[in-house]
Structure 1
Amino acid sequence: MINIFEVNETNKMIEQENLDVRTITLGISLLDCIDSDLNQLNAKIYEKITTTAKDLVKVGNEIEKEFGIPVVNKRISVTPIALIGAAACKTPDDFVTIAKTLDKAAVEVGVNLLGGYSALVSKGTTKADELLIRSIPKALATTQRVCSSVNLGSTKTGINMDAVRLMGEIIIETAQLTKDIDSVSCMKLVVFCNAPDDNPFMAGAFHGVTESDAIINVGVSGPGVVKTALSKVRGENFEVLCETIKKTAFKVTRVGQLVAQEASKRLNIPFGIVDLSLAPTPAIGDSVADILCEIGLEYAGAPGTTAALALLNDQVKKGGVMASSYVGGLSGAFIPVSEDQGMIDAVQAGALTLEKLEAMTCVCSVGLDMIAIPGNTKATTISGIIADEMAIGMINQKTTAVRIIPVVGKDVGETVEFGGLFGYAPIMPVNQYSCDAFVNRKGRIPAPIHSFKN
């Protein structure tokens, strides 16, 4: 049983060390909204979301006030829209109408973001998948709260390289449509390998088809808490280091478990999972990079960074799984550049490069996240970066992702300001050598030999 006394133990963490519940995400199935008439489809979607989520924000605020736990975001994820719109949508613009409906519903219920404008194309692409993907630039440019994701590969199926090539072009087009505001729509677009069905974090959240009609998923945070705990055991051996991370992750996850159970009870919606990821913010002291420095690195990116991050990720999971019976989503350490002041400092010092970030994604929670690159980067180069990251996920049987922002009109040495939780980012250099011939091959990269486990 979880009680308020356990939460009281974390008061100092909340008040002084940036502990928060990053999000309560309500997953909603839209399968029962499917209709061949586009107008009827949009009406059903709006009705389902606004009915199911009508009390989400109110309940989140009540929990925050009652327990003194900051609940930073209240969000919604829905069934991948490529599936929901397949019968009614004949053009990309048809899908855009659904994006606008989702945005309208998100505003109505007051959530920060809504995820699930998504397609799952790891093995092949249907006509509806392609229409949705081609609609993404306009959909994100004409909405405020809708987030989009595309799953391009998996350990079981391989990598859909046709879709990888297309997504390079889509990211460039998305950047162009919002070039007057630093290509910000790209912040709401992520591509995956091995995307989980129960991820509460944006931009990649969607409500998987294996989930129930509605579900409550919670994402916790707390890099500042871990950093403070480690500062008290500075110089100790690895056993003490690991035990400290595990114990801290346990306490952080218990807070998330409490919030998830309370939200589930008050909304009368089943509890799904706690995602125990360390998700940084631009706030000073709320940085995964600072944890790596506390472990013993001068900057994130120094030799030893990948090993330190692997240690951190593993101990966070070991501590977290003891605190909750239902751990899921991504769970680990996020390493977004723009949202982590320590990562920004490492880039500006020259310690952290795109290539080192790629190496770190072998052992972190997700992948290349919130990285700003020159706006004149070629679509094929972006596709090559995506392919590399998909391969890491496929071979290592883990989730990997790319959320990259080619900022039109800006180049290496400049910075881009996104604001709020998204922070700011230095424009990072990209390898200029061509991968055109590789990316332009058609077909898919086969699944690895260890995928055959039936």
Structure 2
Amino acid sequence: MINITEVLETNKMIEEENLDVRTITLGISLLDCIDSDLEILKKNIYEKITTMAKDLVSTGKSIEAQYGIPIVNKRISVTPIALVGGPACKTPDDYVEIAKVLDKAAHTVGVNFLGGFSALVSKGMTKSDELLMRAIPKALAETERVCSSVNVGSTKTGIDMDAVRLMGEIVKETAEMTKENDSLGCAKLVIFCNAPDDNPFMAGAFHGVTEGDAVINVGVSGPGVVKKALSQVRGENFEVLCETIKKTAFKITRVGQLVAQEASRRMGIPFGIIDLSLAPTPAIGDSVAEILEEIGLEHAGAPGTTAALALLNDQVKKGGVMASSYVGGLSGAFIPVSEDQGMIDAVQAGALTLEKLEAMTCVCSVGLDMIAIPGDTKATTISGIIADEMAIGMVNQKTTAVRLIPVIGKGVGEMVEFGGLLGYAPIMPVNNFSCDAFVGRTGRIPAPIHSFKN
């Protein structure tokens, strides 16, 4: 049982070290909204979301007020829309209509993002999947709060390279259609391998088909808290270092557990999982890169970075899993470039490259995240980068993701400002040697031998 003493212990973390609950995400199944008539489907979706989520924002605010715990975002995830829209949607524009309804519902209930404009195509694409994928650029250009994701690979099924090739084109088209806002649409689009069904973090959240009708998932944060704790044991051995991270992760996760239980009780919706990821923000002192520096690196990207990140990720999981009955989602450490001031500084210092970030994704929670690249990068090059990252996830039996932003009209060294939690980023160079012939092959990359566990 969580008591108020545990909450009071976190006051300093909240006031001085940027501790927050990053998001309460309400997952909503839309499977019972399915209809062959598009207008009826849209009406069903709007009514289901606005009914189920009507108290989400007010509940979050009341918990904030009672316990003094900042809850930065209140969000919604829904069943992958490619599974919901199939009977009614005959063109990409039909799916765009659904995206607009999702956006209207998000505005109505007051959430900042709604995830689930998604397709799951790790082994192949249905007609519905492909229509939704082709609708993504226009959908993200014409909505404000809708987020999109596509799962193109898994350890059990391999990588659908037809989907990878198409998503390279979709990323580029999304960039073009939102170029007036520095290609911001791409910041709301994630390509996954091994996507989890219960991820509360945007832009990759969706309500998986294994979930119930509705569920409360909570994502905690706290890089600043971990950094502060590590500064107290500077120069100590690895055992002390690891114990400090574990204990701190435990305390952070207990805060999330309290919020999740309270939100579940007040809304009468089952508690799902706590995602105990260290999710940075552009705020000073709220950086995963600065934790790596506190561990002993001059900059993120220096030799030893991958080892330090592996250590951090593992100890966060070990500490957090003891603090909650249900840990899920991604859970670990995020390394988004634009959302982490320390990562931005490392790129500008020349310490951190795209290739080093790719190596780091082998041991962290996500993948190549919020990375701005030149706007003239070819679609096939983007597909090649996606394929590399999917292979890391597939072979290592972990979730990996790509959120690249080819900023139209900008080149290496220029800066791009996304605003808010999305931050700003320098445009990073990309290896432009051709992979056209590789990406041009059709079919899928088979699952690795260790996937056969039955």
Sort the TM-score into its range (normalised by shorter chain).
over 0.9
Which residue number in structure 2 is paired with residue 289 of structure 1? 289
**SS in structure 2 of the partner of residue 45 of structure 1:** helix
Alpha-carbon shift at residue 258 of structure 1 (Å) = 0.1
User: Normalising to structure 1: TM-score of the pair?
Assistant: 1.00
| SS across alignment from 1:114 | strand
- Whole-Å Cα distance in 1 between the matches of residues 60 and 178 of structure 2? 32
1:153 partner SS: strand
| Structure 1 stretch displaced more, 176-185 or 228-237 | 176-185
**What does 1:50-449 align with in structure 2 at a 5 Å threshold?**
50-449=50-449
Read off the aligned partner of 1:104 and give its amino acid letter: K
Aligned residue identity for 2:148: S
Deviations 1:141-172 (A, max 9, x none): 00000000000000000000000000000000
Report runs of 4+ in structure 1 exceeding 6 Å deviation: none
- Once the two structures are superposed, what CA deviation does each residue of 1:390-410 show, in whole Å capped at 9, x if it has no partner? 000000000000000000000
Residue 273 of structure 1: how far off its partner (Å): 0.1
Superposed CA deviations along residues 401-440 of structure 1, whole A, max 9, x for unmatched, are: 0000000000001000000000000000000100000000
In the alignment, the residues of structure 2 paired with residue 391 and residue 317 of structure 1 have an alpha-carbon distance, to the nearest angstrom, of 23
2:432 aligned with 1:452: no
| Deviations 1:159-210, CA, capped at 9 Å, x for gaps | 0000000000000000000111100000000000000000000000000000
> Which string of whole-angstrom CA distances, capped at 9 and with x for unpartnered residues, describes residues 226-279 of structure 1?
000000000000000000000000000000000000000000000000000000
* Count of residue pairs the alignment pairs up: 454
1:46 is the counterpart of 2:50? no
Quote the offset at 1:44 in angstroms: 0.2
Cα distance in structure 1, aligned partners of 2:199 and 2:180: 31
Q: Secondary structure at the match of 1:32?
A: helix
Shift of 1:325: 1.1
Give, as a single letter, the amino acid of the residue that structure 2 aligns with 1:387.
Answer: A
Show CA shifts across 1:97-138 (max 9, x none). 000000000000000100000000000100000000000000
- Cα distance in 2, alignment partners of residues 434 and 176 from structure 1: 22
For residues 369 and 286 of structure 2, the distance between their equivalents in structure 1, rounded to whole angstroms, comes to 17
Paired with 2:441 and 2:95, the residues of 1 have a C-alpha distance of 28
CA distance in structure 2 between the partners assigned to 1:251 and 1:398 by the alignment? 25
Distance in 1 (alpha carbons) for counterparts of 2:96 and 2:85 = 10
SS at match of 2:233: coil
Work out the CA distance in 2 between the residues paired with 1:76 and 1:3: 28
- Give the Cα separation in 2 of the matches to 1:118 and 1:3: 39
Secondary structure in 2 aligned to 1:265?
A: helix
**What runs of 5+ residues in structure 2 fail to find an aligned partner?**
none
* Amino acid paired to 2:93: D
Aligned-partner SS, 2:200 = coil
1:449 Cα deviation after fit? 0.1
**Partner Cα distance (1:304, 1:44) in 2:** 52
Q: What one-letter code is carried by the residue in structure 1 that aligns with 2:230?
A: L
State the alpha-carbon separation in 2 of the partners of residues 97 and 114 from structure 1.
15
CA distance in 1 between counterparts of 2:288 and 2:243 reads: 18
Aligned partners of 1:413, 1:449: CA distance in 2, in Å?
Answer: 42
Aligned partners of 1:128, 1:318: CA distance in 2, in Å?
40
Measured in 1, the distance between the counterparts of 2:103 and 2:3 equals 37
**2 CA distance for matches of 1:119 and 1:357?**
26
**CA–CA separation in structure 2 for the residues paired with 1:85 and 1:375:** 32
Per-residue Cα deviation, 1:289-328 (whole angstroms, up to 9, x for no partner): 0000000000000000000000000000000000001000
Paired residue secondary structure (1:211): coil
SS in 2 for 1:236: coil
Aligned mates of 2:189, 2:61 — CA distance in 1:
28
Letter in 1 for 2:117: Y
Q: CA RMSD in A?
A: 0.3
**TM-score in terms of structure 2 length:** 1.00
Deviations 1:36-63 (A, max 9, x none): 0000000000000000000000000000
CA distance in 2, matches of 1:209, 1:309: 32
| 2: CA distance, partners of 1:29 / 1:4 | 34
Shift of 1:94: 0.3
Q: What's the offset of the Cα at 1:4?
A: 1.3
Structure 1: tracts of 5 or more residues without a match:
none
Q: Aligned with 1:215: secondary structure?
A: strand
